[in-house]
Every structure is written in C-alpha cells, then in structure tokens.
Chains A and B, each alone.
Chain A
C-alpha cells in the first residue's frame, strides 16, 4: 500500500483549514451510517429494552447462555492470540524473506475474507472429521478437533487470520531500516532489536489486527456451526443460541443475547480505538 509517511513524522494540525466539504461529507457519512447501521441497531436495542428486569436476570443467570457466551468470547480470544502470533510471523516472512511463490502466498492470505463462511465450515469439517485428511492423522494421537470446542477455535483462527496479517504487513514494510541498523551498531542482537525496536513500532497495528480478528470471531456463525458439535453447555456458540431462540419465536430472548454480544463487542472496539488515539497523541507529542 502506498502509505507515504510514518505516523511518527506527522505534523500537528492547524486548527482552521481552507479545505472545503466538511458539511456535505460529514453529513452524508452520518446519514448513511444512521440509515444502514444505527437505526437498525436501535430497533434491536429498542426490542431488547422491552425486556423486563426479571427476564434479564433469567437470561444472564442461565448457565447454558453463559457457557455459550464464554465459548464465543473465550474461543475468539484464543483464536485471536494464535492469529496475533502466527499472523505476525506470516507478515514478517512475507515482508522480509523473499522466497519463490511469495506473491501467490501473499494473495492467498485474503482467502478467508472471500471464501463464504459456510464453505469454509464445510471444508474445515471435511478436513478435521475423524475420517478426514487431518482427522485421520490426529485421531490416533487422541486429539479430536471436529465437533469439540477445539474445532470452534480452528474455524475462528481461519476467519481471523487475514486481519492480523493485513494490518501488520504495511507497517512492517514502512519500518525504517536505519533504525534497525542503528540498534545493531549500538550492539543489540537481532532478538533485542526485534523486541526493543520493531515490536514497539508494529504494536499498534498488531493490536488493531488482534482486536479485529477477535471481534470477527466472536460473532462468527456460518463456519463454526458445521465444526462445533453444538452440544449445549459444551460446544454451543452464542450466535447459535440466538438462532435457537428465534426458532422458538422467542424474539425477546434472541434480542437480549444479541444486545449483550453487541455491547461487549462495541466496548472492545471503542477501547482499542481510544488506546490507539492515546498512543498516537503520545507519540505525536514526542515527535
């Protein structure tokens, strides 16, 4: 991507600007945002607001709902961690080490963005089922992936991977090699340089990638239900519970679970964005 300058080098803004178009663009942005996202979500919250205190108590006290929420958020967290580590590794290798076929591999990273989740779920289940290509190898070792919580994490890793790679990759590309050389000439070995120079530079993007992968995995439905097993309290995810409630015509229950998920997800996103802003402000002040 053609990013020209490092965030480090950005200048402070002049308060008044000659640039026109603030009104129309922000107006359109807010209008479109309200129409497509905010109004429909408000309809959901309105529905959920009709939930009485007692109903909330029952929903939040139901061990089955709690364990589904726990699996969705815990599994997504584990998957995002795996993605942060391996996504960074993949981005590093793609940026730093030329090897034959690198461009093809680079292009392939976006596959989970484009492959329909249902197809991904079917393909992963076919691979990890006890009679699948990988399942056959893992079953003798006593590892079952398909139809267990482990399978949920595998599907979540799949759908979240490109978020980390794609947010870290451009930043890695832009890192000033002179900084690394300077570190090396000051006597730092590669590992020290990595942890002291490179990691701090890519940390914000890594965090963004992590949070996006996490947010995406929390709500994932299509690919997970095929491989999960869907046993209540064990391998049942929260979005499936929403569907289950809907199928029993329990709109209140469904919207309540949806509202809980939505609130947690939005809080996560907002926290990450504020963290980024705070970091930038600090770095901007230094630069």
Chain B
C-alpha cells in the first residue's frame, strides 16, 4: 500500500505549507511600519467619539513637542466604549493617559486597580476636563415630528434612539439629562422623573451598545424619529451623512465634562511622566482649544468660546454634581444592577 508517489505528494504539501507560512511572515515584515519603532511612544486610551479630535490633537502636539525638545514621538490611540476602555486599563492595558467619557470610569481605575490616586480630578484645571459637551437631539430634515424639547420625546408614537446606559457612557449622560429636565420641570419630584424616563425608554426600539452604533442605526439604517446624542457627535453626523438631518437644542440639558488624566503607575514605570503631563497640559493651550472647537466640543478658553458663539446655541446647563450629587452616587442609584434603570426597563 505504500506508494512512493504519496510520499512525494506529502512532502510537497508540507513544503508548500512551510513556504506559505514563511511567505506570510516575509510579507508581514515587508509591510511598512513592521520594525519596532525606536521612538518614545505614548498611549492614549479614549472613548468612542474622540477619534477625529485626538487625531488632530496628536499631530499638533507631536509638532509642538518636536519644536520644543527636538524629540520625535509617536502617540498611539485606542478607542471604544468608555466603560470597556476603563476595564481594559484595569486589566492591564498600559495607558499613559486616559481621556474618557465620564469621571466614574476613571474613578473605577483608581478604585479597582489603584493605578492612580483618588484625587486625580484636582490635578488639572476645570475638573480635569479641557473640553465639555452636552446632549442634544438629532432629527430628520424638516423635523416632521415637531420635536422641540424633552417633553416631545415621550409622546406616543415617537421613536427615540439612544444607546444602552449599561454599556455606553454617552447613554448615561442622555438618561441623566432627561431625568434632570423632568426634575427641573416638577420642582424636584423624583417619582415624576422616574415615570418620565420610563416613558421615554418605552419609545426606544433599539439599545445599541455604544454611541456610534446608535448614530449609525439612526442615520444609516433610517430607524427612529430622534437621536439623543453628544453635541459633537450630532455635528459630526451632519458632516458625515449630509443634509438629511438637523440639530434641535433642548431648553435645558446636562453639562458633560469628559475628564482626562495621567495614569501614575504606568508613566512612572515607563518613564513617560513628563511627556504625558505635557500632552494633557497641551489640551488647555489656545492652539488645542481651537482644534477642540473645530471638532465641535465646547472649549474652556474664553477666547475660543467667543469664536464658537455662532455654532453653539446658548443652552441652560446643569451639572451632575448639582442634581445627582456626583458620578459615584448617580452610578449606584441609577445604573448599577437593581438600580432605577433596571427597574424601569423591567416594567412592561
């Protein structure tokens, strides 16, 4: 039964397989960027909607650092849902700086992994948030449902798109903005607010896991009458998806402060503290503030604010500290297992 032909065949097969493997490896090394870079790197772990912002910021910072020190550096980016990104850092993703959607996620890094101390939010100006944003509505052109303010969202038949507050930072801001609005209208009636938010979520047909997913569902899939979105996301969507949409600014919304911080343990281990701190301080410079404004985040710098007056409609804003007593409390009350969100989504 032993034929020499088979023998050759098998040899050939393995030779071919080995060659293919080597070829793949060879191809891999040929592709540019294959060799490990000698330059110092910085890893910025951020949330979903900041991709475009930090691409621009990084280019500017690399130039400014080169001009100042003569050193070439490289900045690596990682984007994803804010909670997921925080968890990656907790599990060992070596982020030099984190720039997340909400302070709670950075608190979690401080609490669970002890990679930075609990006072991180006082280390930089403006609550460590070099830019702010808020929650607005994106509706279809001509606003066929006549959605003007929060009350219009709970009308029967209006379909609202917002992501899942359990997995998305943006969705938690959406939820808290709605809650704060009703609280304000009823002079602080928590029961009414819960009822309002429950009614709102009854009008939600899809809960995507992240803010970007919701935007695609609304803009690309054509689902829903109104999208609750970060202000910067709404403007970006106008830019990306063309004229089919318009932005509606509600009478009252929440002041979202996406914070940034250096991860102490990581920078000390990697010897990048000076670089990381310079990177975050750069965000507060007029140059960076202008980039921030161009990417539809609200800048902090008074000069930059003046220039954006035409884009950003004035809006009455409340803070999470005023209305909810800070992120830790809001998280425990509303979004933790068995919290208010679970209660209202269990209601049929």
Q: Determine the distance from Cα of A64 to Cα of B206 in the docked complex, in whole angstroms.
A: 16
Q: Contacts A247-B87, A249-B108 hold; do A147 and B209 have CB atoms under 8 A apart? A: no
* B164 adjacent to A244 (CB under 8 Å): yes
Q: Contacts A248-B83, A249-B90 hold; do A129 and B222 have CB atoms under 8 A apart? A: yes
Please tell me which one of the listed residues A147, A226, A232, A246 contacts residue B205 in the complex, with CB atoms under 8 A apart: A147
* B346 adjacent to A232 (CB under 8 Å): yes
Q: Which of B112, B206, B345 gathers most chain A CB within 10 Å?
A: B206
Name the distance in Å between A66's Cβ and chain B's nearest Cβ.
12
A170 at the interface (CB under 8 A from B): no
Interface size class of A (residues with CB under 8 A): 20 to 34
Q: Determine the distance from Cα of A248 to Cα of B90 in the docked complex, in whole angstroms.
A: 12
B145 at the interface (CB under 8 A from A): no
B209 contact set on A, CB distance < 8 A: 225, 230, 240, 243
Please tell me which one of the listed residues A63, A146, A231, A249 contacts residue B221 in the complex, with CB atoms under 8 A apart: A146
* A230 adjacent to B164 (CB under 8 Å): yes
* B205 adjacent to A233 (CB under 8 Å): no
Name the distance in Å between B38's Cβ and chain A's nearest Cβ.
33
B189 at the interface (CB under 8 A from A): no
A sample of 23 inter-chain contacts (CB < 8 A) reads A64-B342, A64-B345, A126-B221, A129-B222, A129-B223, A130-B221, A130-B222, A131-B222, A146-B221, A147-B206, A225-B209, A226-B213, A229-B207, A231-B207, A232-B345, A244-B164, A244-B167, A246-B84, A247-B166, A247-B167, A248-B166, A249-B112, A250-B337
Closest 9 pairs between A and B when the two form their complex, measured CB to CB: A247-B83, A131-B222, A129-B221, A232-B345, A229-B206, A230-B207, A147-B206, A244-B166, A247-B167
* A253 adjacent to B337 (CB under 8 Å): yes
Taking A147-B205, A248-B83, A249-B90 as known contacts, 4 extra A-B pairs with beta carbons closer than 8 A to each other, sorted by chain A number, are: A230-B164, A231-B207, A247-B81, A248-B337
B208 at the interface (CB under 8 A from A): yes
Q: Determine the distance from Cα of A253 to Cα of B207 in the docked complex, in whole angstroms.
A: 21
Q: Determine the distance from Cα of A230 to Cα of B87 in the docked complex, in whole angstroms.
A: 21
Q: Contacts A64-B346, A232-B345 hold; do A130 and B223 have CB atoms under 8 A apart? A: yes
* B205 adjacent to A229 (CB under 8 Å): yes
Chain A 245-262 against B: per-residue CB contact (8 Å), 1 yes, 0 no?
011111001000000000
Q: Determine the distance from Cα of A125 to Cα of B166 in the docked complex, in whole angstroms.
A: 22
* B207 adjacent to A233 (CB under 8 Å): no
Interface size, chain B (Cβ < 8 Å): 27
Please, which residue of chain B has its CB at the minimum distance from the CB of A135? B221
List CB contacts (< 8 Å) of B315-329 with chain A: none
Chain B 197-217 against A: per-residue CB contact (8 Å), 1 yes, 0 no?
000000011111100010000
Q: Which of A125, A131, A226, A249 gathers most chain B CB within 10 Å?
A: A249
B18 at the interface (CB under 8 A from A): no
B23 at the interface (CB under 8 A from A): no
* A230 adjacent to B208 (CB under 8 Å): yes
Q: Determine the distance from Cα of A63 to Cα of B347 in the docked complex, in whole angstroms.
A: 11
B19 contact set on A, CB distance < 8 A: none
B24 at the interface (CB under 8 A from A): no
Please, which residue of chain A has its CB at the minimum distance from the CB of B335? A248
Name the distance in Å between A152's Cβ and chain B's nearest Cβ.
13
A247 contact set on B, CB distance < 8 A: 81, 83-84, 87, 166-167
Q: Which of B81, B222, B335 gathers most chain A CB within 10 Å?
A: B222
B207 contact set on A, CB distance < 8 A: 229-232
A248 contact set on B, CB distance < 8 A: 83, 166, 335-337
Please, which residue of chain A has its CB at the minimum distance from the CB of B207? A230
Q: Determine the distance from Cα of A232 to Cα of B204 in the docked complex, in whole angstroms.
A: 11
Please tell me which one of the listed residues A63, A230, A243, A253 contacts residue B206 in the complex, with CB atoms under 8 A apart: A230
Name the distance in Å between A143's Cβ and chain B's nearest Cβ.
15
List CB contacts (< 8 Å) of A214-243 with chain B: 225-226, 229-233, 240, 243
A225 contact set on B, CB distance < 8 A: 209
Name the distance in Å between B157's Cβ and chain A's nearest Cβ.
16
A63 contact set on B, CB distance < 8 A: 346
Name the distance in Å between A242's Cβ and chain B's nearest Cβ.
11
* B345 adjacent to A233 (CB under 8 Å): yes
A226 contact set on B, CB distance < 8 A: 213
Please, which residue of chain A has its CB at the minimum distance from the CB of B113? A249
Q: Determine the distance from Cα of A70 to Cα of B166 in the docked complex, in whole angstroms.
A: 20
Q: Determine the distance from Cα of A240 to Cα of B342 in the docked complex, in whole angstroms.
A: 15
B90 contact set on A, CB distance < 8 A: 249
Q: Determine the distance from Cα of A111 to Cα of B108 in the docked complex, in whole angstroms.
A: 41
* A243 adjacent to B221 (CB under 8 Å): no
A231 contact set on B, CB distance < 8 A: 204-207, 345
Name the distance in Å between A238's Cβ and chain B's nearest Cβ.
14
Name the distance in Å between B167's Cβ and chain A's nearest Cβ.
5
Chain B 162-180 against A: per-residue CB contact (8 Å), 1 yes, 0 no?
0010110000000000000
A230 contact set on B, CB distance < 8 A: 164, 206-209
Name the distance in Å between A222's Cβ and chain B's nearest Cβ.
12
Q: Determine the distance from Cα of A132 to Cα of B337 in the docked complex, in whole angstroms.
A: 36
Please, which residue of chain B has its CB at the minimum distance from the CB of A63? B346
Name the distance in Å between B201's Cβ and chain A's nearest Cβ.
9
Q: Determine the distance from Cα of A279 to Cα of B81 in the docked complex, in whole angstroms.
A: 49
Q: Contacts A246-B87, A247-B81 hold; do A147 and B223 have CB atoms under 8 A apart? A: yes
* A125 adjacent to B221 (CB under 8 Å): yes
Q: Determine the distance from Cα of A226 to Cα of B81 in the docked complex, in whole angstroms.
A: 15
Q: Which of B90, B166, B223, B345 gathers most chain A CB within 10 Å?
A: B166
A232 contact set on B, CB distance < 8 A: 207, 342, 345-346
Q: Determine the distance from Cα of A147 to Cα of B90 in the docked complex, in whole angstroms.
A: 32
Please, which residue of chain A has its CB at the minimum distance from the CB of B213? A226
Please, which residue of chain B has its CB at the minimum distance from the CB of A225? B209
Q: Determine the distance from Cα of A250 to Cα of B108 in the docked complex, in whole angstroms.
A: 12
Name the distance in Å between B205's Cβ and chain A's nearest Cβ.
6
B345 contact set on A, CB distance < 8 A: 64, 231-233
